[in-house]
């Protein structure tokens, strides 16, 4: 079902992205300026977009290797994040009436990160937050297979790593109540046997528990189509979870998770068709906007 398609067309609902707009200006593993990225969303006639840059690390020990080699520190990244928030607000105003922009941020959930995200929320007042988990046992799981393997051994096995991931996600959801939960099942990223893993009772029960929390708090889910760009068979969320989500009528909205101009809008049409094929609503609602 997955084919490269970047075009809006009449039979499709309007393009939106609930999670994206990482830019080379504010993120070490992204490219291009935030201005050019926002311009690309406007050129592709998106109805709305949430720009959701990564939060800075809580301390230097959580710097990624590319950040370290660029000479960054946690405090320099906090300063850069403050510039991002101000820049994004000015773009939101400049595009008023042309493109609806939400000023957001994407979290972490390693040790101390959720409390730090709450501090950042209280200081910078984003329109909404994408709540994501990128570490288990404080080890990054989406960077490469060897770090993934390290996280598995730290947890004592792959099922335990999945369980720990969904437990961290549950705590993050409860404490932070992010309007959007990002790439819900990212933990399967380097696991070719994920369909059987997800069916393991210890994992599936946690997935259902977390979805219940999303439902009862009125949050929405990111259909993260960046996975397709990286050659995955299906986006996050995968098919069995989407079936459960449909049954629970939890809103799912595409997130292109763009990290450059040329990944703006990439695979959004595929994601929309995928939702349509599963009978999931594409009458998008916007994420819950925080009131301060």
Among positions 143-182, residues that touch Zn ion (CB under 5 A) are none
**In this complex, which beta carbon is closest to Zn ion, that of residue 22 or of residue 135?**
22
- Taking the C-alpha atoms of residue 169 and residue 113, their distance in angstroms, rounded to an integer, is 12
For residues 18 to 37, the per-residue mask of contacts with Zn ion, x marking binding by CB under 5 A and - elsewhere, is ----x---------------
Least gap, CB of 238 to Zn ion (angstroms): 16
Of the listed pieces 8-16, 80-88, 125-133, 214-222, which binds Zn ion according to CB under 5 A?
125-133
Instruction: Using the minimum distance from each CB to Zn ion, give the nearer residue, 58 or 132.
Output: 132
Site for Zn ion in 128-147 (CB under 5 A): 132
Whichever of 22 and 87 has its CB closer to Zn ion, that residue is: 22
8 vs 170 by CB, closer to Zn ion: 170
Do 211 and 245 form a contact (C-beta atoms < 8 A)? Answer: yes
Least distance CB 130 / Zn ion (angstroms): 7
CB of residue 96 vs Zn ion: minimum separation in angstroms?
Answer: 27
3-class secondary structure per residue, 98-127: CCEEEEEEECCCCCCHHHHHHHHHHHHCCC
Q: Which residue is nearest to Zn ion (CB)?
A: 132
Comparing CB distances to Zn ion, the nearer of 91 and 109 is: 109
Place of tokens 């994206």: 20
Q: Which is nearer to Zn ion, 140 or 251 (CB)?
A: 140
Contact 246, 16 (CB under 8 A): no
CB of 143 to Zn ion, least distance (A): 10
Using rule CB under 5 A, residue 107 touches Zn ion = no
- Residue 106 CB, nearest distance to Zn ion (Å)? 5
Give the interface size with Zn ion as a residue count (CB under 5 A). Answer: 2
Verify binding: residue 258, Zn ion, rule CB under 5 A: no
**Contacts with Zn ion, residue ranges (CB under 5 A):** 22, 132
């Amino acid at each position: 079902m997955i084919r490269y398609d970047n075009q809006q067309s009449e039979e499709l609902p309007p393009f939106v992205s609930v999670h994206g707009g990482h830019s080379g200006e504010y993120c070490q593993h992204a490219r291009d300026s935030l201005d050019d990225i926002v311009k690309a969303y406007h050129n592709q006639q998106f109805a709305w977009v949430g720009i959701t840059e990564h939060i800075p690390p809580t301390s230097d020990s959580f710097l990624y290797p590319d950040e370290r080699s660029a000479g960054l520190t946690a405090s320099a990244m906090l300063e850069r994040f403050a510039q991002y928030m101000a820049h994004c607000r000015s773009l939101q105003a400049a595009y008023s009436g042309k493109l609806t922009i939400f000023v957001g941020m994407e979290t972490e959930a390693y040790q101390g990160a959720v409390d730090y995200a709450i501090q950042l929320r209280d200081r910078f007042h984003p329109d909404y937050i994408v709540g994501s988990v990128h570490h288990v046992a404080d080890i990054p799981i989406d960077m490469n297979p060897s770090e993934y393997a390290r996280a598995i051994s730290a947890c004592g096995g792959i099922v335990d790593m999945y369980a720990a991931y969904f437990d961290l996600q549950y705590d993050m959801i409860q404490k932070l109540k992010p309007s959007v939960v990002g790439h819900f099942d990212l933990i399967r990223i380097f696991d070719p046997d994920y369909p059987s893993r997800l069916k393991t009772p210890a994992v599936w029960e946690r997935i259902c528990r977390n979805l219940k929390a999303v439902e009862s708090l009125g949050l929405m889910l990111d259909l993260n189509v960046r996975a397709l760009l990286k050659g995955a068979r299906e986006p996050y969320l995968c098919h069995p979870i989407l079936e459960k989500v449909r049954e629970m009528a939890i809103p799912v909205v595409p997130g292109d998770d763009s990290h450059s101009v040329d990944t703006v809008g990439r695979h959004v049409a595929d994601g929309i068709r995928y939702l349509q094929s599963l009978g999931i609503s594409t009458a998008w609602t916007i994420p819950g906007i925080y009131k301060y």
